[in-house]
Amino acid sequence: MFGKKLRRLKQAAILPGLFLLLTGCAPIKSGVLNPQGPVAKKQLDLILWTSGLMLLIFVVVGILFVYMLVKYRAKPENEGYEPPEVHENKWLEMIWTAIPIVIVALIAVPTVTMTFDLEKSPSPHKKPLVIEVTSADWKWIFKYPEQGIETVNYVKIPADVPIRFELNAVGAMNSFWVPELGGQEYTMPGMSMKLWLEADKPGTYVGRSANFSGRGFTHMQFDVIAQKEADFNAWVEQVKKTAPKQTEAQWKKLLQPGLVGEQTYSSYPKLKEDPNMNHDMKDMDHGTSEANSMNHDMSGMNHGMDGSETMTHME
C-alpha cells in the first residue's frame, strides 16, 4: 500500500519536471521553440509567459494536492477518526475565485494586444513583399504579383523584409504554417486571407499544411528559403530569364489533385481567380484524359509515398 502511494508521489513530482523540460529547455530546439523572425519571437514570448503562469499554478496546486494526500491519508493511527463536517468558508472561496481572475487578466491583456498587433506588418517602416499563396490538393503555389513569377512547393523570400502572404485555396482547406517564422492561417476556397511573416536572417525554414485536406496532405511540405535581399533580387531576375512561362493548361492541371515536385515559372496566366473550382473537381471525378495523364506524371515524383497508393480520385 505504501509503495503505491510513494509511486503516486513520484509521479506527481516528475510531471512538473517534464513540463519544465517541454516549455523551455528542450534538448532539440526546432519549430516553435526556434523562432527566426519577429512574429515567431513575439508568439514564443507569449507562449513562455503563459507557460510560466500556468507552471506556477501547477506547482501550487500540486503541492497542495500532495500535502493533502500525505497528511490526511487513512492510517492505522487515525482509525476511527471522524472528519469534521465543514462545508463552506466564504473567505477562502473568495480568494480562490480571485486568483484565477487575476491570472486570466494577466494572460488576456497581452493576448488581446498581440492579436491586434499581428494584423499589422511586423516591420511597418519597411516596404513589404506580397506573395499570393494558393493551396491546391496537394501542393503549394506561390505567385509574386510584383515580380510576375511563380513557384510551386517552395518559396523564396528576402530576409529582413516583411512578407504579406495572401492565402487562397482550390479544393479542400489547408493551413499555411511555417513554425520558425510564425503562426499559421487557413487557406480557404472563396475566402482570401492574409498572414504577415518575416525572417530575420537567411536560412531555410520548413513549412507545412496544418489542416487535413485528404490523402496527399502529409506531403504538403514546402521550404521557405530566405536570402539576402540582393540575392533574392538576383534570383528573381534569373527566374524571369531562364524559367518557362506557365500556360493556362499547365495552371489548370496544377490545380487538380495529385503531388508534384518543386516548379518554377517566369510568368503565370493572368486569369481571374476562378472561385468556381468545383468545375475542375467535377471533371476530375469523371476521369478526364487530362487527369489520367497527370496520374503518370505523378508516379515519377513519389515523394516517399508508398507505391500501393494511387493519388487521384479516379479509382
Q: Which is nearer to other proteins, 215 or 253 (CB)?
A: 215
Does 288 bind other proteins (CB under 8 A)? Our answer is: no
- Site residues (CB under 8 A) for other proteins, limited to 171-210: 171-173, 175, 177, 179-180, 182-186, 188-191, 193-194, 206, 208-210
Residue 275: phi and psi, rounded to 5, are: -70, -15
Pick the binder of other proteins from 6, 22, 249, 301 (CB under 8 A).
22
Based on the shown chain and the rule CB under 8 A, indicate whether residue 21 belongs to the binding site for other proteins. Answer: yes
Q: Is 262 in the site for other proteins (CB under 8 A)?
A: no
- Under the criterion CB under 8 A, does residue 301 sit at the interface with other proteins? no
Q: Does 13 bind other proteins (CB under 8 A)?
A: no
Q: Rounded to the nearest whole angstrom, what is the least distance from the CB of residue 238 to other proteins in the complex?
A: 28
Taking the complex as a whole, the smallest distance from the CB of residue 263 to other proteins amounts, in Å, to 20
Q: How far apart are CA 209 and CA 186, in angstroms?
A: 9
- CA 200 to each of CA 100, 147, 163: distance values in angstroms, whole numbers, following the listed order: 37, 22, 12
Applying CB under 8 A, the span of 127-135, 144-152, 214-222, 260-268 interacting with other proteins comes to 214-222
Please name the amino acid found at residue 188. Answer: M
Q: Which of 20, 114, 130, 243 binds other proteins (CB under 8 A)?
A: 114
> Segment near other proteins (CB under 8 A), from 37-45, 247-255, 263-271, 292-300?
37-45
196 neighbors 164 (Cβ within 8 angstroms): yes
- For other proteins, the binding residue among 36, 40, 154, 291 (CB under 8 A) is 40
> Which amino acid, residue 10?
K
What is the C-alpha to C-alpha distance for residues 183 and 35, in angstroms, rounded to an integer? 10
Angle at CA 170, nearest 5°, toward 165 and 174? 60
Residues 44-73 that bind other proteins (CB under 8 A): 44, 46-47, 50-51, 54-55, 57-58, 61-62, 64-65, 68-69, 72-73
Give me 111's grid cell.
493576448
All cell numbers assigned to 199: 525572417
Nearer CB in complex with other proteins: 76/300: 76
Side-chain-side CA neighbours of 141 within 13 Å: the count stands at 25
Q: Are 175 and 185 in contact (CB under 8 A)?
A: yes
Task: Enumerate residues 136-175 that contact other proteins by CB under 8 A.
Answer: 137, 171-173, 175
In terms of Cα–Cα distance, which of 131, 124, 183 is closest to 157?
A: 131
Q: Helix 90-117 crosses helix 38-71 at what angle (to 10 degrees)?
A: 170
Q: Are 174 and 155 in contact (CB under 8 A)?
A: no
Given the complex with other proteins, which of 243 and 277 has the nearer CB atom?
A: 277
The secondary structure element, H or E, covering residue 36 is: none
Asked whether the beta carbons of 165 and 200 are under 8 A apart, the reply is: no
Question: Least separation, in Å, of the C-beta of 75 and other proteins?
Answer: 9
Of the two residues 119 and 242, which places its CB atom closer to other proteins in the complex?
119
Of the candidate residues 122, 162, 216, 258, the single one contacting other proteins (CB under 8 A) = 216
User: Smaller CB distance to other proteins: residue 73 or 240?
Assistant: 73
